[in-house]
Structure 1
Amino acid sequence: MSTYSNKRPRGAVSFLDINEVENQPGQTASLRRSHFFARMQADIHSVLDRDPAARSILEVILCYPGLHAVWGHRLSHWLWTHRLKLLARWVSQLARGFTGIEIHPGATIGPQFFIDHGMGVVIGETTEIGSGVTLYHGVTLGGTSLNKGKRHPTLEDNVVVGAGAKVLGAITVGANSRIGANAVVVKSVPPNSVVVGVPGQVVVRSKPRSSAAPDLDHGRLPDTIGDTLAALIVHVERLEQRLNGSEPPAPAVHAREAGLWHGEDFSI
């Protein structure tokens, strides 16, 4: 079993980091306040940048439970790291009741973290999240061990996790990767990858993304099972042709054309 380390993924920032910066010698009260409000402003703009339905700052502040959950976590994490753990758990439970999003105060979450819709999201104690990560509703970042050490995932910078996906265990999802809706990920994922299916099948991008914008194009996901079946059908047809010495009869199910399967008697 792995041993949990307090080392944070690149870009990870919490209220503790802000407190350490603000308490440096020479910091004025005005400068400390500016750090605090800069953090809140960055959280707000992460929503505006990634949700086209967000029309104004006021709407984001009042109507986005994902933002409320992030702010609640930043407070509870600060309490957790200052050994006020019971109070931290109480604050996190309050946030859970108000938002439907459960984030353990021990989780380490970086800047520009966005939870869209959010209901049913669960983030475990030893989860580590980098900068610019996006989660959708129903996502679980869960543990697979009774070990009190590191047992939850690490998401590196700019990872996007689709609705209903489960990322389980002390694994790492590499930077700039996208996990498709309802995928179940139990093994580490290289950077610049797309994961689909149950269990998750990893497709490494042939070219790294050139855009710095979050990869939110959920309609573009590989169909690893469909493509495999299509290749098998073509292979079987060729084998039949070689055995019969002639063209094989038309199969009941044809390989996909334009993304569609066709068959005379084909139902699911």
Structure 2
Amino acid sequence: MNIPIKAGSDSVWQRLHQEVVGMMESEAMLASYLYQTVLNHDSLEASLSFLLAAKLATPYLLAMSLRDVIAQAFAADPGIGEAIRRDLSAVLERDPAAQGLAQPFLHYKGFHALESYRVAHWLWNNNRKPMAFFLQNRISEVFAVDIHPAARMGKGILIDHGTSVVIGETAVVGDDVSMLHEVTLGGTGKESGDRHPKVGHGVLIGAGAKVLGNVKIGDCSKIASGSVVLHEVPPHATVAGVPAKIVGRPSAEEPALQMDQQLDKDFGM
């Protein structure tokens, strides 16, 4: 079946569109769903705004109204569109379970939560805090990911699986970071002000790791699964344990891109 791509497409959108056509041809029962979410739209942003609004809508804020809010954010800040494309590409490049772009775009809640956060962050920065908090709450309820709308997240982020990820208000996450489920970037108590971690680019944070307090996580470092990080981590270091200590150096130049969570290589074993 030859379904033309509407004007204004880009390489990511074109590939996604083509993959969805193939999905529809192989599973006719999904045809209506795939038309509504992807094939009926003329851009990645239009498709994603429809998809996220349908997932996040409530009886109090219907999908059509919520879609208008999401579309407004996308139109006002072209940087969100760039981030969406880099985030989606990051899933394909780093997650071996991702068989193309359509699968994570349609079904991966880590990706959905991250792009929904980007809308909430735009609302926060434009002094629409009640709506930003509403979205944060809905993202947590629907996707089990809790990212404060004031947190600052870079581009090319992978939140793999997503369940129980928590990122606090003053957290900063650099570009090309990968984190798995149950990661917390949190505070250490009731302190106010700048109280959450600052994560550099290319960092890999393993499942269940907790990074607490206003601590700096150096570029291209690696935090082992289940670790509790309470102090600064130097660039290109591997830390593990409770509390976490330096145990070696990542074997990869940018651990987030390789997703290798084994420690034996870092120990030189």
Tell me the TM-score normalized by structure 1: 0.67
How far is the alpha carbon of 1:82 from its aligned partner?
Answer: 1.0
The answer (yes or no) to whether the contact 1:145–1:151 under 8 Å persists in 2 is no
Cα separation, 1, equivalents of 2:105 and 2:167: 22
1:218 aligns with 2:246: no
Answer 1 or 2: which has greater helix percent: 2
Hey, what does 1:177 align to over in structure 2? 221
Q: Which amino acid aligns with 1:137?
A: H
The answer (yes or no) to whether the contact 1:150–1:170 under 8 Å persists in 2 is yes
Cα separation, 2, equivalents of 1:223 and 1:198: 18
Hey, what does 1:144 align to over in structure 2? 188
Q: Which stretches in structure 1 are left out of the alignment for 5+ residues?
A: 1-30, 225-258, 260-268
Helix, strand or coil: the match of 1:56? Answer: coil
The answer (yes or no) to whether the contact 2:144–2:163 under 8 Å persists in 1 is yes
Cα separation, 1, equivalents of 2:256 and 2:181: 20
Q: 2:112 aligns with which of 59, 68, 75?
A: 68
Higher relative CO (Cα under 8 Å, sequence separation at least 6) belongs to: 1
Q: How many residues align?
A: 194
Change (3 A) 1:124 1:193: same
The answer (yes or no) to whether the contact 1:192–1:209 under 8 Å persists in 2 is no
Change (3 A) 1:199 1:71: same
The answer (yes or no) to whether the contact 1:69–1:95 under 8 Å persists in 2 is yes
Q: Which amino acid aligns with 2:162?
A: G
- Within-5 A mapping of 1:24-35: none
Please identify, of 159-168 and 137-146, the stretch whose mean Cα deviation from structure 2 is larger. Answer: 137-146
Cα separation, 2, equivalents of 1:223 and 1:210: 12
Tell me the TM-score normalized by structure 2: 0.67
Change (3 A) 1:133 1:212: closer
How far is the alpha carbon of 1:38 from its aligned partner?
Answer: 3.4
The answer (yes or no) to whether the contact 1:175–1:192 under 8 Å persists in 2 is yes
The answer (yes or no) to whether the contact 2:171–2:196 under 8 Å persists in 1 is yes
Helix, strand or coil: the match of 2:185? Answer: strand
Hey, what does 1:80 align to over in structure 2? 124
Hey, what does 2:240 align to over in structure 1? 196
Cα separation, 2, equivalents of 1:96 and 1:34: 25
How far is the alpha carbon of 1:35 from its aligned partner?
Answer: 5.5
Change (3 A) 1:36 1:105: closer
Q: Which has the larger radius of gyration?
A: 1
Q: Which amino acid aligns with 1:219?
A: Q
Helix, strand or coil: the match of 2:123? Answer: helix
